[in-house]
Amino acid sequence: MIELLPVDDAEPAFEHSPLLKGALLTLEFIETNGPIGLTPSNALKRYFVEWAAEAFAWPNYTAEELYHLNKVLNEGDFMPLFMLHDLLNSLKLVRRKKGAVHITKLGKQLRSHPGALWAVLAERIFGGFNVTPYARYDVPFVGNWDVFLGVINVETHSGCTDDHLYKTLFGTRRANQEMRHVNLRSAFYVHCLRSLVWLGLLHESTVGEGLNRQRIFTKLPLWFAALRLETDTFIIERQVH
């Protein structure tokens, strides 16, 4: 069972959560500048996407990186914003009305309490928020958060690769199941590891290049401040021995 601990609004570890930063900046933008305009397809208008790309400075999705791939920026080009928009709407922190995104009463309340805002974002993701629309490929979720977090809690305590995590959770690949493992590995990264990085619970770094490139994951201070897991006892026992 995943237990989120209450975290003080002034907790420095929140600085590592691009999802919280993006949510706070979006809610602040609406309160300061008014509702954000929507296109006929209910996407955020380009003026806000361009502003958000600069203001969020989202790791691996900075304005410089986005403009390197796109001459102009639409919401679909800025994948984290695309996800954040739907996440805020599903949590009723914003609402779409008359061609624009408005902040709600709940959104105004949580904007002043980052700890509580982060908690509702985390609970929504751990509660089964579907991130498939925000992936390059159709990668349905396989597994459950209780198992994933329990294993990751132990294995990343001193840092480990995504390859190690994948093999620990799903086993080694077989020659006749190559494509299945490729898809499953992509799903595990998109649904689980990337979500934990965006929440500010894990740090992701890379080593090597090309086919030798590997992702390394380590726990961030927010992990220890916000999570209490059943496998915490295994870490204590490992440290004692």
Domain range annotation of the chain: 3-129, 145-240
The whole-number pLDDT of residue 236 equals: 58
The whole-number pLDDT of residue 240 equals: 47
Look up the pTM and report it. Answer: 0.92
Q: What CA–CA distance (Å, rounded) separates 232 from 85?
A: 34
Q: Name the 3-class secondary structure at 124.
A: helix
Share of the chain above pLDDT 90, in %: 71
Q: What CA–CA distance (Å, rounded) separates 54 from 48?
A: 10
Q: What CA–CA distance (Å, rounded) separates 122 from 126?
A: 6
Write out the two tokens for 141: 């979720």
Write out the two tokens for 238: 């490992």
Q: How far apart are the first and last CA of the chain?
A: 26
237, pLDDT greater than 60: no
Contact 3/225 with Cβ under 8 angstroms? no
Q: For the stretch 124-138, what's the b/e string if a residue is b when 16 or more beta carbons lie within 10 angstroms of its beta carbon?
A: ebbeebebeebbeee
Burial of 227 (0-12, 13-18, 19+ CB in 10 A): middle
Closest CA to 152 of 209, 229, 208: 229
Q: What is the pLDDT of residues 97-141, one digit of tens each?
A: 999 999 999 999 999 999 999 999 999 999 988 887 877 666 667
User: Alpha carbon of 111 to those of 130, 199, 225, 228: distances in Å?
Assistant: 24, 16, 20, 25
The whole-number pLDDT of residue 133 equals: 80
User: Alpha carbon of 65 to those of 71, 186, 202: distances in Å?
Assistant: 11, 22, 22
241, pLDDT greater than 50: no
Spell out the CATH class of 145-240.
mainly alpha
Contact 78/66 with Cβ under 8 angstroms? yes
The whole-number pLDDT of residue 183 equals: 78
